[in-house]
Amino acid sequence: MTKISLKPRHRSMILALAVAACAQTQPDPELLVILTGEAVVPPVQTSATGKALILVDENGTVTGVVEVPGMADASAMIEDEADSAISVVVTLVPVAEGRWQVPPGTRLTSAQRDHYNSGKLYANVRSKAHPKGEVRAQLKGTSTSKMGASR
């Protein structure tokens, strides 16, 4: 058996892709989004950038990761721009500095799934310098049931 060594920064994205593969779907590469300070409302000045791959299946189960290399003392979440009363939909768990993943077993409500599919959810990373958000990206909401062929 050959042992493959992966760089730590690649493990989270591979995990998300593996979860999608186990669900017998092929994630659309266009669902990978880039987080920037320009996407925050209002925009913030930052050199930080990141990426997120968030997948939602037809029953609302969420998997995915957010990575912002080098960002320490921060938190990542999926938020809903359509619900100002409760904007945080999912708080991701840290797996390493600058990397977070959706907690296992996380499911969206029907309304949240509709908001995901209509592009109203976004990935947001908050830092001490920018507590409302340092980098952000709108999620390209297409449920995995629409993403492609099964095996």
Q: What is the mean pLDDT of residues 31-51?
A: 96
Residue 142 has pLDDT above 80, yes or no: no
Residue 150 has pLDDT above 70, yes or no: no
- Residue ranges of the domains in the chain? 8-145
What is the percentage of the chain residues whose pLDDT exceeds 70? 73
Sign of CA dihedral 142, 30, 126, 82: negative
Q: How confident is the model at residue 50 (pLDDT cuts 50, 70, 90)?
A: very high
12-26 pLDDT, tens digit each: 555 555 544 444 455
44 three-state secondary structure: coil
For 8-145, give the CATH class. mainly beta
Per-residue pLDDT at 71: 95
Nearest to 134 by CA among 50, 54, 52, 14: 50
**Torsion angle, CA of 80/106/93/5, rounded to 10 degrees?**
-120
Tokens of residue 125, six digits: 């990373």
Q: How confident is the model at residue 145 (pLDDT cuts 50, 70, 90)?
A: very low
Per-residue pLDDT at 22: 43
* 86 or 111, greater pLDDT: 111
Q: Whole-angstrom Cα distance, residue 42 to residue 39?
A: 8
| CB-CB neighbours of 105 under 10 Å | 8
Beta bridge partners of 5: none
Average pLDDT of the chain?
Answer: 82
Tokens of residue 91, six digits: 């708080």
Cis before 27 (ω within 30): no
Q: How confident is the model at residue 87 (pLDDT cuts 50, 70, 90)?
A: confident
